[in-house]
Amino acid sequence: MSAAAAPRFLAIGFAVLAAVLYGISSPVSKVLLDSVPPALLAALLYLGAGIGMAVVSLVQTTRRQETREAPLSRKDLPYVIGMIVLDIAAPVLLMFGLTLTTAANASLLNNFEIVTTSVIALLLFREAIDRRLWFAILLIVCASIILTVEDMSSFAFSLGSIFVLLACVAWGFENNCTRMLSLKDPVEIVIIKGFGAGGGALLLALFAREMTADLSGVLAALLLGFFAYGLSIYFYVLAQRTLGAARTSAFYAIAPFIGVGLSFVIFQIPVTVSFAAATGIMIAGAYFAATSGHRHRHVHTPLIHEHRHCHDDEHHTHVHDPPVEGEHSHLHTHETMMHSHPHAPDLHHLHGHEDH
């Protein structure tokens, strides 16, 4: 593997790990809904993420581990606000959907998030999406259609389905807001997401008088939130740094299949031929997503920003006196540069493409 390809494959690994962690949320949440109301469960999941990552941050501080990540700044505030508001709305919509539909159905409909994320990234954020990635997205959606059409026992279009689809639209916008913050400290992002979205959802639960739950249900929801939301978001942000919003979302599409697989186990639903076939198509979609990308001569316009970086790439050529080795973070300037190399639409490559 070339040095240039290594960061991309590491980012793919982060995206898949984020998907696996999030994939456990729908079926386990379906179980928890027996003892925890929807709005309260949505709040606890995000609060679990915020509390868990705050503990991680505290451990790092007590061990005097110096962070190499850039903190969020006032310039990031619009995206932070958008991220929090959408993160309040999306899980509440999903929890209400889960009360009206099956866990497998919700897991499958979650694939609509890939489409909304990609379309928003293309239209609003001008992210380049090549034909190979569009084909990967098409395969991923087709895999879901196979499951929903052939296995009618796990799919029914209903009011619950509409709530799940609305959650996917909200998350599509949220994914693109998070992508604009992806160069900043991912632990800080998850903490803000967790307490911001969790606190907002908690107010909604209080307003809806959904504050009744037993202690074991509350603790289970917080623990699920740390793994399925906290750690998942952390790895998702790391993946977005290199892959961009659309590509990360494509790999994240494995999450619904994890959810369906767990639903088979938890709710003792027999594994179907359609699930096996759809899984094969999903793997093919992941392959095309992994191999998408392009190389061409492009121009980097002047840019001043702060993020974690090192000086072993073609983009960070500024010098330090005295010299600095390894990864570090500080405000730095990118001068105008023209070069050619394989790249994805990360935040260093936001140039347009006439053929996309």
- Chunked in runs of 10, what are the mean pLDDT values of the chain (356 residues)? 67 90 86 88 93 92 74 91 89 80 69 82 80 85 66 60 87 90 91 92 87 89 95 92 84 75 74 78 81 64 66 67 65 67 57 51
Percentages of the chain per state (helix, strand, coil), in multiples of 5: 65, 10, 25
Same domain for 289 and 306, yes or no, is no
Cross-strand pairs, 306: 331
- Do 30 and 147 sit in the same domain of this protein? yes
DSSP state string for 19-74: HHHHHTHHHHHHHHTTTS-HHHHHHHHHHHHHHHHHHHHHHHHHTTPPP-SBPP-G
User: Which structural domain, as residue segments, surrounds residue 333?
Assistant: 299-343
Domain boundary among 295, 312, 335: 295
Question: Between the CA atoms of 106, 174, 86 and 123, what dihedral angle is there, to the nearest 10 degrees?
Answer: -100
Q: Does residue 353 sit within a domain?
A: no
Whether 287 and 260 share a structural domain: yes
Q: Would you say residue 129 lies in a domain?
A: yes
Bridging pattern class, strands 303-309 and 328-334: antiparallel
Is residue 48 located within the same domain as residue 189? yes
Q: What is the pLDDT of residue 356?
A: 43
Pair 310, 198 in one domain: no
pTM: 0.76
Q: Do 219 and 337 share a domain, yes or no?
A: no
Is 227 domain-assigned? yes
Same domain for 233 and 336, yes or no, is no
Phi, psi dihedral angles at 51 (to 5 degrees): -65, -45
CA distance 192 to 201: 14
Residue count (the chain) = 356
Is 285 in contact with 323 (CB distance < 8 Å)? no
Domain annotation covers residue 72: yes
207 with 317, same domain: the answer is no
Q: Are residues 230 and 308 in the same domain?
A: no
Residue 350 lies in a domain: no
Phi, psi (rounded to 5 degrees) for 35: -125, -10
Q: Does the residue 1 lie in any domain? A: no
Domains contained in the chain, number: 2
With b for 16 or more beta-carbon neighbours within 10 A and e for fewer, the 183-215 pattern comes to: bbbbbbbbbbbbbbbbbbbbebbeeeebeebee
Domain membership flag for residue 291: yes
Chain-centre distance for alpha carbon 324? 32
The first and second tokens of residue 328, run together, are 């570090």
Same domain flag for 320 and 186: no
d(CA 229, CA 187): 12
Verify that 79 and 144 share a domain, yes or no.
yes
262: its two tokens: 């767990």
Burial class of 153 by CB neighbour count within 10 A (0 to 12, 13 to 18, 19+) = exposed
Radius of gyration of the chain (CA): 21
| Residue 324 per-residue DSSP state | -
What is the pLDDT, as a whole number, of residue 131? Answer: 84
